[in-house]
């Protein structure tokens, strides 16, 4: 494990990001853009699935599910480089460990549910959609809070 973390820290991307002041700022900004897209799509989507507004769910899901997917991909790609910059330090933090476990759980559960019930959950009943929405809402807001906490505990 230590060898892997050291290899990450010594990688070309991590070395570049550590030394490039504006590059690091852009990377961190892109991470926040990914988070904004993900959470900004997941919150209204899940509230609609929980019954807010009594509006048709499928057209809303057709816009917000891809937005959340792009946001997650951007947050994960930029987050991986941010992590590599100080891999050993981040890996030792409980807040980072908890955040990464929740990101993995959230991603895996979304993929499994969407594979089973359709990309827009169109084959799921109202009860299953509502349960998934509640779990997803809590989970991604916890990831958001844990991510922001890193700066205060590291
Ligand atoms: C594989 C996925 C991810 C990895 C490896 C990752 C890693 C990181 C790292 C290393 C930082 C910098 C911490 C610091 O020193 O301040 C960070 C910041 C942050 N992350 Fe992530 N992250 C990932 C996905 C996410 C997701 C999905 C969210 C939100 C839903 C998120 C929310 C945040 C927040 C709010 C910050 C603080 C941003 C700031 O204050 O500038 N991260 N992340």
Helix axes 21-49, 126-153, angle to 10 degrees: 150
Task: List ligand 1's pocket residues with C-beta within 6 A.
Answer: 28, 31-32, 35, 38-39, 72, 75-76, 79-80, 82-83, 90, 103, 140, 143-144, 147-148, 150-151, 154
Q: Where are the domains of the chain?
A: 2-153
- pLDDT given at position 1: 87
Residues near 50 by Cβ (< 8 Å), separated by ≥ 6? 130, 133, 134, 137
User: What are the pLDDT tens digits along the chain (154 aa)?
Assistant: 889 999 999 999 999 999 999 999 999 999 999 999 999 999 999 999 999 998 999 999 999 999 999 999 999 999 999 999 999 999 999 999 999 999 999 999 999 999 999 999 989 999 999 999 999 999 999 999 999 999 999 7
């Amino acid at each position: 494990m230590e060898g892997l973390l050291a290899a990450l820290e010594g990688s070309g991307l991590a070395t570049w990001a550590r030394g490039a002041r504006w590059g690091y700022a852009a990377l961190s900004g892109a991470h926040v853009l990914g988070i904004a897209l993900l959470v900004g799509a997941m919150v209204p989507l899940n509230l609609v699935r929980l019954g807010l507004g009594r509006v048709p769910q499928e057209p809303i899901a057709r816009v917000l599910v891809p937005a959340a997917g792009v946001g997650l991909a951007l947050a994960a790609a930029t987050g991986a480089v941010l992590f590599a910059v100080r891999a050993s330090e981040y890996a030792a933090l409980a807040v980072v460990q908890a955040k990464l476990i929740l990101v993995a759980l959230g991603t895996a559960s979304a993929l499994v549910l969407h594979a089973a019930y359709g990309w827009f959950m169109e084959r799921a009943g109202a009860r299953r959609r509502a349960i998934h929405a509640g779990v997803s809402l809590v989970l991604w807001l916890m990831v958001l809070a844990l991510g922001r906490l890193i700066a205060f505990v590291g």
